[in-house]
Amino acid sequence: MKIISRLVLLAALTALGFWLWTVFFPSPEKVIHQRLTELTATATFGTKDSAIARGLKAQRLANLFSADAQLIFDAPGVGQRILTGREEIRETAAAGFQSMPSLAAEFLDVSIRVAVDRRAAEVSCTAKIRSGDNKDFGVQEMKFVFKKIEGKWLIARVETVKTLS
């Protein structure tokens, strides 16, 4: 009986140790997925959000990017735009957040590939965006490049993927 209770205790301690390890030292894939979730939460706002709240969201959004980040996107009606640097991304986000009544963002079909050195990762996903009170939504293939800078996974590059139409 003593052996069985010791084995059960050992198994419980091993399981607890493994769980604590995954909580305090999550995998890069898990951290990057959390960053994408944070990006969608930050980029989403409603009609009742104040101008100050939207400005703060634009600042938080910019903080998810590296200082030399590059954002390349094709937006319907706007054409291709290239934003370089965290400050330009923040300014553009702030202007966009003020000009739209609301925005809902979501990333679907997320595929994360971490480099062998575990210092960079490439993410492919589908962005689903709904603007204003429009019932329709836009869908766009996206490609992100994350880099681990000073212990934090930051977005170094984002680009829309041109698909066949």
- Per-domain residue ranges for the chain? 26-160
Q: What is the pLDDT of residues 110-120, one digit of tens each?
A: 999 999 999 99
Q: Are 83 and 100 in contact (CB under 8 A)?
A: no
CA nearest to 146, candidates 163, 158, 133, 159:
158
Chain centre to alpha carbon of residue 49: 21
* % pLDDT > 70, the chain: 98
Res 133: pLDDT? 76
Dihedral angle of Cα 117, 120, 126, 129, to the nearest 10 degrees: 150
Q: What are phi and psi of 115, to 5 degrees?
A: -65, 160
Angle ∠(62,161,64) on CA atoms, nearest 5? 15
Whether the pLDDT of residue 124 is over 90: the answer is yes
Q: Are 161 and 145 in contact (CB under 8 A)?
A: no
DSSP letter for 119, please. Answer: S
**Structure pTM?**
0.83
Place of tokens 């969608």: 40
Residue 45 CB neighbours (<10 A): 20
Q: In CATH, what is the architecture of 26-160?
A: Roll (3.10)
